[in-house]
């Protein structure tokens, strides 16, 4: 009886060793997309009332967990039934990300509120912000997270397969892959949204440090003022970085999953190529959506 119990523990230990190897490789391979995920989600988690930032972030984080709860089993089922479907879904997701990135650029270039109007508008927005607006922003963030999570899971699965080949494992590769992808998904979600939570609450930490300071000068008050003053700058930077990240992720999906684009302009820098392809795809989708809305409006009238 005891020997059987220790044999089970030994198997669990061996499994964890195998998973540790594959998970390490998968985490390394997904590091780039996790950086983009962080930039995009940090930008999407800002712009809410201070009292709503953490509750909204928790909603997005729950949505992210739910996304992965759908994606992980779906990817394994599709891999078994019809592997090309994964690529098709990924490309459609890339079109959405490209559209969202281009829409942000067009909004910035042609629909910016003037400086004087912005100050007044922000006060009104803070007072009159409705639950519907918050729901729309959360929904948009979760939709974007779905596509980013999809790419993370696909890369993690490919890395787990590659890592398993280097092992002399006694376990079924599918089982190791499932455990590896699940662990990477959990780590990615907690890690990304944990860092985002720290970013959006920088000013609160700063105010607390200022209150704790017993003098008008010193390390605490200097650090507190720095965090409070740095937050608006960080948010503005995240708005730019998040948009660029959206476009690069979309471009990466096109370049790596569409053979024609992959072999197009082979000497062109990869980042430039991804950005250009994403902008072109995003503009095409934007035009289709724009005229589609106009057509629906005319038909309804």
Band of the pLDDT at 10, cuts 50, 70, 90? low
pLDDT for 278 equals 94
Domain layout of the chain by residue ranges: 2-300
Q: What Rg, from alpha-carbon coordinates, does the chain have?
A: 23
How many angstroms separate the Cα of 249 from the Cα of each of 25, 40, 151, 182, 252? 20, 10, 9, 22, 5
Share of the chain above pLDDT 90, in %: 18
pLDDT for 39 equals 77
Separation of alpha carbons 279 and 99, rounded Å:
8
Q: Work out the mean pLDDT of the chain and round it to a whole number.
A: 81
pLDDT for 171 equals 67
Residue 236: alpha-carbon gap to chain centroid: 18
pLDDT for 62 equals 92
Tokens 């009292």 locate to 51
pLDDT for 126 equals 47
pLDDT for 7 equals 58
pLDDT for 12 equals 64
Separation of alpha carbons 122 and 118, rounded Å:
6
pLDDT by residue (tens digit) across 40-83?
777 777 766 667 778 888 888 999 999 999 999 999 999 889 98
pLDDT by residue (tens digit) across 114-132?
544 444 445 455 445 567 7
Separation of alpha carbons 291 and 297, rounded Å:
10
pLDDT for 127 equals 46
48, 137 Cβ separation under 8 angstroms: yes
Phi/psi of residue 264, each to 5°? -80, 135
Whether this prediction's pTM lies above 0.85 is answered by: no
Neighbours of 201 (CB within 10 A): 17
pLDDT for 119 equals 46
Band of the pLDDT at 289, cuts 50, 70, 90? very high
pLDDT for 21 equals 74
Separation of alpha carbons 90 and 74, rounded Å:
13
Separation of alpha carbons 183 and 157, rounded Å:
11
Q: What one-character-per-residue DSSP string does 198-242 give?
A: HHHTHHHHHHHHHHH-SSSSSHHHHHHHHHHHHHHHHHHHHHHHH
pLDDT by residue (tens digit) across 216-248?
677 778 888 888 888 788 878 878 888 888 898
Band of the pLDDT at 291, cuts 50, 70, 90? very high
50, 205 Cβ separation under 8 angstroms: no
80, 231 Cβ separation under 8 angstroms: no
pLDDT for 107 equals 87
Over residues 26-36, the mean pLDDT reads 75
Whose CA is closest to 47, among 202, 232, 246, 203?
232
Separation of alpha carbons 32 and 39, rounded Å:
11
Whose CA is closest to 252, among 233, 230, 278?
278
């Amino acid at each position: 009886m005891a020997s059987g119990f220790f044999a089970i523990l030994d198997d669990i230990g061996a499994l964890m060793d195998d998973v540790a190897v594959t998970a390490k490789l998968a985490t390394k391979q997904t590091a780039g997309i996790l950086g983009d995920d962080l930039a995009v989600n940090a930008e999407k988690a800002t712009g809410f009332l201070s009292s709503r930032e953490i509750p909204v972030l928790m909603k997005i984080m729950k949505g992210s967990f739910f996304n992965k709860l759908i994606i992980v089993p779906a990817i394994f089922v599709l891999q078994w039934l019809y592997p090309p479907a994964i690529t098709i879904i990924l490309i459609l997701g890339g079109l959405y990300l490209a559209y969202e990135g281009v829409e942000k650029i067009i909004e910035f270039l042609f629909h910016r509120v003037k400086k004087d109007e912005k100050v007044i508008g922000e006060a009104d927005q803070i007072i009159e912000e409705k639950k519907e607006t918050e729901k729309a922003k959360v929904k948009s963030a979760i939709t974007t997270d779905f596509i980013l999570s999809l790419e993370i899971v696909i890369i993690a699965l490919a890395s787990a397969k590659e890592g398993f080949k280097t092992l002399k494992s006694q376990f079924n590769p599918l089982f190791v892959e499932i455990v590896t992808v699940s662990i990477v998904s959990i780590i990615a979600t907690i890690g990304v949204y944990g860092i985002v939570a720290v970013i959006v609450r920088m000013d609160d930490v700063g105010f607390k440090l200022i209150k704790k300071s017993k003098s008008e000068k010193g390390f605490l008050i200097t650090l507190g003022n720095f965090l409070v003053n740095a937050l608006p700058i960080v948010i503005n930077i995240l708005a730019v970085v998040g948009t660029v990240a959206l476009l690069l992720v979309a471009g990466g999906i096109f370049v790596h999953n569409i053979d024609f684009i992959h072999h197009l302009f082979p000497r062109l820098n990869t980042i430039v190529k991804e950005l250009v392809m994403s902008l072109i795809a995003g503009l095409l989708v934007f035009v289709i959506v724009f005229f589609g809305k106009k057509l629906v409006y005319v038909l309804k009238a």
